[in-house]
């Protein structure tokens, strides 16, 4: 029987947390009243995580386990979970007990209002100390604001793993690198409706956090990638061509100015750095325009050779539907 809910749990060295999480999660899902499956992705753990997962699978076959050959990262774990998920609603959450399973009904209630993606917004997360405010709260708030502005999907907490997705959305998301942080933004490419609900936050009980301040640079680079893919993936000439035209135009204007000074005033140009700068701008502009044209050719090759559509359909109403209903009647 196909489950109604699919819960995806990326796991990396969480042997102590897994039994506690499943002891909370399974009763909560049972109480909701929907059939469910729990997909646990062991992302190359080096502790006893897989042994714990084997025990849980033996006790309850609704717990499905996927074991990677090595640590591929959380993005790959989410991608595998989306691929194997069978439920109509796909819910992601962390396995470190910081997400509360009791908040899942909140996501489903909002989901039932017609949204395609519902994201959690962790409350009471920054109550530790002044130091945490400087090192974590301010950088996190700044990152969420920047991501919202650049992607156009306004959320208060992109870092919250507790999210619910419509099956069709999850199945059409292609993930690479470390793009799991931007899942709602990536999903927005398909024209989805995104909502946010407040959820509780719990401090880590076991192990250590897998993240640090070093991830800020990765987030910025990934944000640039996501912003480009959302806005210019199918029209690269509009970004490279725009920069190329600007560079070419500025270089040309400087070149015309220097030419006039030479013709009118007889000024020497050979030893002027401005001439070299103008030539450099013209060359860079031409190269950028060529990059845009090559990008356009690659986009067309990608879509036409694989019959990739450049659109997504939410619903289809046509005469065939009406005739089928008439025949059924």
Per-residue pLDDT of 198-241, as tens digits, reads: 998 887 776 665 555 556 677 777 777 777 777 777 788 888 88
Residue pair 4/34 in contact (Cβ under 8 Å)? The answer is: yes
Our CA angle for 241, 245, 246, nearest 5°, is 120
- Backbone φ and ψ for 91, nearest 5 degrees, come out as -120, 130
Question: How many residues appear in the chain?
Answer: 329
d(CA 96, CA 15): 10
d(CA 276, CA 298): 33
Compute the average pLDDT of residues 131-143.
Answer: 66
Residue whose tokens read 């070419």: 248
pLDDT higher than 80, residue 130:
no
Structure tokens at 296: 């356009």
pLDDT higher than 80, residue 260:
yes
d(CA 98, CA 81): 20
pLDDT at 135: 57
Our CA angle for 70, 167, 198, nearest 5°, is 85
d(CA 2, CA 22): 21
Reduced to 3 states (helix: H, G, I; strand: E, B; else coil), residue 273 is helix
**Residue 134 gets which letter from DSSP?**
I
Sequence-distant (≥ 6) Cβ neighbours of residue 322 within 8 angstroms: none
d(CA 215, CA 158): 14
Which of 126-130, 295-299, 302-306 is predicted least confidently?
126-130
pLDDT higher than 80, residue 162:
yes
Residue whose tokens read 């306004």: 154
């Amino acid at each position: 029987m196909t489950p109604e809910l699919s819960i995806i749990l990326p796991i990396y060295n969480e042997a102590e947390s897994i039994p506690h999480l499943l002891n909370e999660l399974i009763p909560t899902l049972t109480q909701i009243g929907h059939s469910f499956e729990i997909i646990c992705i062991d992302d190359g753990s080096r502790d006893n995580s897989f042994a714990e997962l084997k025990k849980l699978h033996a006790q309850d076959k609704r717990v499905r386990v996927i074991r990677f050959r090595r640590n591929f990262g959380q993005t790959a774990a989410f991608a595998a979970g989306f691929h194997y998920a069978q439920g109509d609603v796909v819910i992601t959450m962390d396995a470190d007990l910081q997400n509360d399973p009791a908040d899942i009904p909140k996501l489903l209630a909002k989901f039932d209002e017609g949204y395609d993606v519902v994201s959690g917004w962790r409350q009471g997360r920054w109550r530790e100390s002044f130091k945490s405010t400087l090192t974590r709260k301010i950088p996190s708030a700044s990152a969420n604001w920047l991501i919202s502005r650049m992607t156009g999907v306004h959320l208060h907490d992109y870092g919250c793993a507790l999210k619910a997705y419509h099956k069709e959305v999850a199945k059409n998301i292609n993930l690479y690198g470390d793009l799991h942080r931007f899942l709602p933004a990536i999903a927005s490419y398909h024209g989805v409706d995104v909502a946010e609900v407040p959820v509780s936050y719990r401090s880590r009980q076991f192990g250590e956090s897998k993240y640090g301040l070093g991830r800020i640079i990765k987030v910025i680079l990934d944000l640039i990638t996501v912003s480009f893919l959302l806005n210019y993936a199918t029209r690269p000439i509009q970004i490279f061509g725009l920069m190329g035209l600007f560079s070419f135009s500025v270089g040309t204007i400087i070149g015309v100015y220097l030419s006039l000074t030479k013709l009118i005033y007889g000024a020497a140009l050979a030893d002027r750095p401005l001439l070299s700068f103008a030539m450099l701008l013209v060359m860079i502009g031409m190269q950028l325009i060529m990059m845009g044209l090559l990008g356009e050719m690659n986009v067309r090759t990608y879509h036409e050779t694989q019959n990739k559509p450049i659109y997504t359909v939410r619903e289809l109403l046509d005469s065939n539907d009406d005739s089928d209903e008439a025949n059924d009647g």
